[in-house]
Amino acid sequence: MMLIEKYGGIDIGSNAIRLLVTTVTTMDDKPPRFKKTSLVRVPIRLGADVFLNGAISKISIDRMIDAMSAYGLLLKNHNVLRYRACATSAMREASNGAEVVARIREATGIQIEIIDGEIEADLIAATDFGHFIGTEKAFLYVDVGGGSTEFTLYSEGRVIVSRSFKLGTVRILNDMVRESMWDEVKAWITEVTAGYDKINVIGSGGNINSIYTNSGKKLGKPLSYFFLVNYFELLKSMTYHERIYELEMNPDRADVIIPATKIYLSAMKWSRAKNIYVPKIGLADGMVKRMYQDSTQGHDLKTLFED
């Protein structure tokens, strides 16, 4: 017997808001199949408001309400049964974060959870990406966002340790990351990876996805450290407008991609990794996987627009 269900994940980040609709197909005793049905991204840079002014501006709130209204319609039209909306670094630091959640709920019916770094790392871990490089290996998962970066060390198919740092691309662009933060991240990565002879890095986030697409690599094949170094130098050699025109980047990608690449390169250097794998998965994928896992265990889940 075959069962087909759709799940929705809304990732409210510091640089953009994303909606992922995934179709989950199960049949008899076979493992479930997860297929990305739709992915929509709106470049509302909440971090620019929060990290500089401490609160989300009226303009950004209005844009969020419009985006969530559109996402609600898309969820309905896709016949999504269950959804989850999670807000990360920018929303959890905004002085008016709870107020914004309430306004969006009233205007659109969508309930947003403001999650901390530990929950964020846990949801990312639910993506089960070990099959991309093998569960017998050790690897460092690096999820770079606008406000924070989540690091998770895996070995033999299980989580060893994870941590979230306020090291994000929007923060770096606005000169809000002190050198001491880089030192703290370096010390942590160096310490947790010291006992492993060989580490690979898995990169997550829109910036590394963009780099991977431009590399022409076949999905599943890694990027080398030297490739990323050369690409970083290319990015720095171009102006903001040249990156938009020559590399066909979105305007909101063309500035944050440089600090993002620096974070990935630093993580590779400090963990002694020679390769970075890019499976093109992230927080929204983790939400879907966790919702599916909860449904199989009989947990109550949020259905669309329920009270």
Residue 302 has pLDDT above 80, yes or no: no
pLDDT tens track for 181-227: 999 999 999 999 999 988 999 999 899 999 999 998 887 899 999 99
Supply angle C-alpha 243, 244, 245, rounded to 5. Answer: 95
Give DSSP secondary structure letters for 29-60.
Answer: TSPPEEEEEEEEEE---HHHHHHHHSS--HHH
pLDDT confidence band for 305 (50 / 70 / 90): very low
The string of pLDDT tens digits covering residues 58-91 is 999 999 999 999 999 999 999 998 999 999 999 9
CB 42 within 8 A of CB 12: no
Greater confidence, 163 or 307?
163
Euclidean distance between CA atoms 133 and 276, whole angstroms: 10
Is residue 300 over pLDDT 60?
no
Rounded mean pLDDT of the chain? Answer: 90
The mean pLDDT of 44-49, rounded to a whole number, is 92
Question: What whole-number distance in Å separates Cα of residue 249 and Cα of residue 251?
Answer: 6
154 compared with 236, residue with greater pLDDT: 236
Sequence-distant (≥ 6) Cβ neighbours of residue 59 within 8 angstroms: none
Give yes or no for a contact between 63 and 281, defined as CB atoms under 8 angstroms apart. Answer: no
The pLDDT of residue 175: 93
Closest CA to 47 of 11, 85, 94, 104: 94
Among candidate residues 83, 95, 44, 82, the one with its CA nearest the CA of residue 65 = 44
pLDDT tens digits, 122-177: 787 777 665 555 556 789 999 999 999 999 998 887 889 989 899 999 999 999 99
Share of the chain above pLDDT 90, in %: 73
184 and 165 in contact (C-beta within 8 Å)? yes
Please state, as a whole number, how many other Cβ atoms lie within 10 Å of the Cβ of residue 167.
23
Q: Give residue 129's pLDDT.
A: 61
Q: Do 128-281 and 2-117+284-296 have the same topology in CATH?
A: yes
| Crossing angle for the helix pair 97-108 and 58-77, to the nearest 10 degrees | 40
pLDDT given for residue 303 in this prediction: 47
Beta carbons of 154 and 160 less than 8 angstroms apart: yes
Q: What is the third-level CATH fold of 2-117+284-296? A: Nucleotidyltransferase; domain 5 (3.30.420)
Local confidence band at 241 (pLDDT 50, 70, 90 cut-offs): very high
Q: Tokens at residue 297, please?
A: 């265990």
- Residue ranges covered by each domain of the chain: 2-117+284-296, 128-281
**Average pLDDT of the segment spanning 274-288:** 90
Q: Of 285, 258, 209, 261, which Cα lies nearest the Cα of 18?
A: 285
pLDDT for res 136: 61
Report whether pLDDT(306) > 70: no
Structure tokens, 162: 């994870």
Residue 127: the pLDDT is 73
Q: If one looks up domain 128-281 in CATH, what number appears? A: 3.30.420.150
Task: Phi first, then psi: give them for residue 253, nearest 5 degrees.
Answer: -100, -30
